[in-house]
């Protein structure tokens, strides 16, 4: 098999002297009760971080986590156990514990291993070794200097660099035997600026499934430093944000967090299998204006949310969620797909071997439309233009969602007028995209810093969108009304 598989096998199985035949036997033991499906998830995750503050790199840390999770599924029931020792004994114990979810019953057969060919979306590099310690420290110092030289009002600069090398191997009773080696790097700059006693913050960064050399290309890294300062200085001029319902233009890229919150979570298979989502039972219905086509795409090379194979060994896919405004389908893992009579869409993800997989997004974005972004802004008589956001949250069942702007401007008579303070925007998921009246042709993906939380599990994700005009969104400022 591929390099990736050999690397993962070397890291995960060879050190415990485990063979593929033994994995087959353990799965066979798990299936001795009336279990429909069982899988083993081996993981070794090595990560590091470096932090600069007050002009010096004063902290660094290194972490190593290794273990195996064993899951046994019977109907809608799941038994789960894990161990931080990858040995045959620990594996057998975990399998025995997990299978107790089901009473003794008919034995089933573990399927023979079947490889599912798929293109590699990123190199199986270990980012931690792609730059010397000296050069990592030098990179952070360079960004500190870059940020400080932008403006004397810059009072504090914090730069952080993280690298992750995550190798996983999945063996399942349905014949799946797959591995993935996932690099992930991230660089963040946060600045505090001060003028006449007023302080504001700017925060930016980027990354993806690369080695650290990604940051050394051209002006990429220093660009983060300049962008953080620019945002902070804009916020120094910001006035009170307006309060009330108005027409809102969302910029391209990271504002796609709208899609992640407003519709993405609501289209995850578990909520829809259980009928607890505001989108449950609505496939085929109009949930957006006909200008909107939204996909979840785990196959984009090197993106933060991409996966060569998901955490159940299913190759990542491009899943159309909404096409020309019509709801087309949900995102599935194996369990929820099987219970709903469909196959996994490659969205089965888990934070680690110590967590159960569930349907999660990868990179979620809206395809480009036909309008020029300037034309979209010009079309708004009075409203808000929001270009940078922090996080968001959604109530899956009621459909209500929020996302918080960190850089926004008032639009007056079709022109960007003045910056306003950050404010939370709130809307109703099943309804908000029906009020998208213009979709720009400037599709952009985010810079690669997103992390999604669900039921206590965090996974890296991506978002994106072109410039959008949404009519009648509620803006949570403090003035007007």
Q: What is the footprint of another protein within residues 291-350 (CB under 8 A)?
A: none
Stretch of residues binding another protein (CB under 8 A), selected from 82-90, 119-127, 165-173, 216-224: 82-90
Asked if 195 touches another protein (CB under 8 A), the answer is: no
The span from the CA of 8 to the CA of 17, in Å, is 14
Beta strands in 75-197, from DSSP E residues, in sequence order: 77-83, 154-172, 177-195
The span from the CA of 141 to the CA of 233, in Å, is 21
Shortest Å, Cβ 289 to another protein: 20
Choose, by CB under 8 A, the member of 266, 427, 440, 448 that binds another protein.
427
51, 160 contact by CB (below 8 A): yes
Choose, by CB under 8 A, the member of 26, 101, 110, 439 that binds another protein.
101
Residues numbered 105 to 134 that lie near another protein (CB under 8 A) are: 133-134
Asked if 199 touches another protein (CB under 8 A), the answer is: yes
- Rounded to the nearest 10°, the torsion over CA 373, 377, 380, 381 is -150
215, 135 contact by CB (below 8 A): no
Closer by beta carbon to another protein, 406 or else 465: 406
Residues numbered 448 to 477 that lie near another protein (CB under 8 A) are: 474-477
The span from the CA of 132 to the CA of 134, in Å, is 5
Closer by beta carbon to another protein, 10 or else 60: 60
Asked if 402 touches another protein (CB under 8 A), the answer is: yes
Asked if 62 touches another protein (CB under 8 A), the answer is: yes
The span from the CA of 337 to the CA of 399, in Å, is 22
Of the chain, the end-to-end C-alpha distance in Å amounts to 63
> Site for another protein (CB under 8 A): how many residues?
78
Which x/- pattern, by CB under 8 A, does the window 249-288 give for another protein? -------------------------xxx-x----------
Residues numbered 369 to 398 that lie near another protein (CB under 8 A) are: 390-398
Among 83, 215, 119, smallest CA distance to 161 is for 215
Closer by beta carbon to another protein, 371 or else 401: 401
**At a CB cut-off of 8 Å and minimum separation 6, what does 137 contact?**
50, 57
Angle at 392 between CA 391 and CA 395, to 5 degrees: 160
Asked if 426 touches another protein (CB under 8 A), the answer is: yes
Choose, by CB under 8 A, the member of 259, 292, 423, 452 that binds another protein.
423
The span from the CA of 113 to the CA of 170, in Å, is 11
Asked if 233 touches another protein (CB under 8 A), the answer is: no
Shortest Å, Cβ 299 to another protein: 30
Asked if 163 touches another protein (CB under 8 A), the answer is: no
């Amino acid at each position: 098999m591929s390099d990736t598989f050999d690397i993962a096998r070397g890291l995960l199985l060879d050190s415990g002297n485990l063979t593929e035949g033994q994995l087959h036997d353990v799965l066979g033991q798990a299936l001795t009760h009336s279990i429909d499906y069982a899988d083993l998830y081996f993981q070794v995750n090595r990560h590091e971080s470096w932090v600069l503050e007050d002009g010096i790199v004063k902290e660094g840390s290194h972490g190593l986590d290794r273990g195996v999770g064993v899951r046994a599924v019977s109907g809608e029931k799941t038994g789960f156990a894990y161990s931080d020792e990858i040995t045959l004994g620990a594996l057998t114990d975990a399998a025995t514990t997990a299978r107790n979810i089901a009473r003794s019953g008919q034995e089933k057969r573990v399927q023979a291993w079947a490889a599912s060919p798929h293109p590699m979306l990123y190199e199986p590099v270990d980012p931690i070794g792609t730059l010397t310690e000296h050069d990592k420290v030098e990179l952070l110092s360079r960004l500190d200097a870059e940020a400080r030289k932008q403006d004397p009002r810059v009072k504090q600069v914090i730069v952080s660099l993280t690298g992750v090398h995550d190798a996983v191997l999945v063996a399942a009773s349905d014949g799946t035997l797959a591995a993935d080696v996932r690099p992930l790097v991230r660089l963040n700059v946060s600045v505090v600026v001060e003028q006449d006693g007023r302080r504001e913050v700017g925060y930016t960064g980027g990354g993806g499934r690369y080695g650290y050399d990604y940051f050394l290309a051209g002006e990429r890294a220093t660009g983060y430093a300049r962008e953080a300062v620019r945002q902070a200085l804009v916020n120094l001029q910001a006035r009170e944000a307006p309060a009330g319902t108005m027409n809102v233009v969302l910029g391209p890229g990271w504002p796609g967090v709208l899609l992640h919150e407003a519709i993405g979570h609501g289209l995850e298979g578990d909520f829809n299998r259980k009928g607890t989502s505001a989108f449950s039972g609505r496939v085929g219905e109009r949930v957006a204006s006909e200008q909107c086509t939204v996909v979840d795409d785990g196959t984009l090379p090197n993106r933060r949310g991409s996966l060569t194979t998901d955490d159940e060994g299913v190759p990542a896919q491009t899943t159309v969620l909404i096409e020309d405004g019509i709801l087309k389908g949900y995102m599935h893992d194996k369990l929820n797909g099987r219970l709903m009579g469909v196959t996994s869409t490659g969205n089965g993800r888990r934070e680690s071997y110590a967590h159960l997989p569930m349907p999660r997004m990868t990179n979620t974005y809206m395809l480009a439309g036909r309008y020029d972004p300037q034309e979209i802004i010009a079309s708004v008589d009075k409203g808000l233009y929001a270009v940078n956001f922090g996080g968001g949250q959604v109530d899956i069942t009621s459909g209500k969602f929020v996302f918080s702007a960190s850089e926004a401007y008032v639009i007056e008579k079709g022109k960007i007028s003045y910056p306003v303070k950050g404010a939370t925007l709130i809307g109703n998921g099943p309804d908000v995209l029906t009020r998208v009246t213009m979709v720009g042709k400037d599709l952009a993906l985010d810079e690669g810093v997103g992390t999604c939380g669900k039921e206590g599990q965090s996974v890296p994700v991506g978002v994106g969108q072109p410039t959008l005009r949404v009519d009648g969104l509620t803006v949570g400022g403090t003035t007007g009304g």
